Amino acid sequence: MKQQTLLMIKPDAVQRNFIGRIIERLETAGFQIVQMKMVHLTVARAREFYEVHEGKPFLEELVAFMSSSPIVAIALEKENAVADLRELVGATNPAEAACGTIRQCFAIDMGKNSVHASDSPENAAVEIRFHFA
């Protein structure tokens, strides 16, 4: 069954001109782009997006980074989209990301890791609504 998920191209990747290369990976892997926009999140909006991480030691750094310059939000559709996108994106820490994954190819470090991908169908629905309500 077709499923939707959310990908964000984070500031580090936008700034290094990797938008096109990342989108090419998505399309080649069979994801259909259903909605897409470039947006500069405010600190408050970035904090709202990552509210599940409230209390984590990296939250302040993450919110500051995600509101530092524009991101690209993309709603994607495919069979098994959530799990397949997580696999294409790779591990949170690029040093541990599998060969050929987006993070292994483009990410700088654990914080500046180039992309976000929803981690469950439930969170995907919430995150797509957050950007495309």
Interacting residues with ligand IDP between 43 and 102 (CB under 6 A): 58, 61-62, 92
Residue ranges of the alpha helices (H) in the chain?
11-15, 19-28, 43-49, 59-66, 81-89, 102-106, 121-132
In the three-class reduction of DSSP (H, G, I as helix; E, B as strand; rest coil), residue 23 is classed as helix
For residue 84, the minimal CB distance to ligand IDP (Å) is 15
80 or 92, CB closer to ligand IDP? 92
Binding-residue pattern over the window 7 to 46 for Mg ion, x denoting contact by CB under 5 A: ----------------------------------------
Partnered with residue 30 across adjacent β-strands are: none
Q: What is the dihedral of CA 27, 81, 71, 23, to 10 degrees?
A: -10
Under the rule (CB under 5 A), what is the footprint of Mg ion? Answer: 119
Residues binding ligand IDP (CB under 6 A): 58, 61-62, 92, 110-111, 113, 116, 119
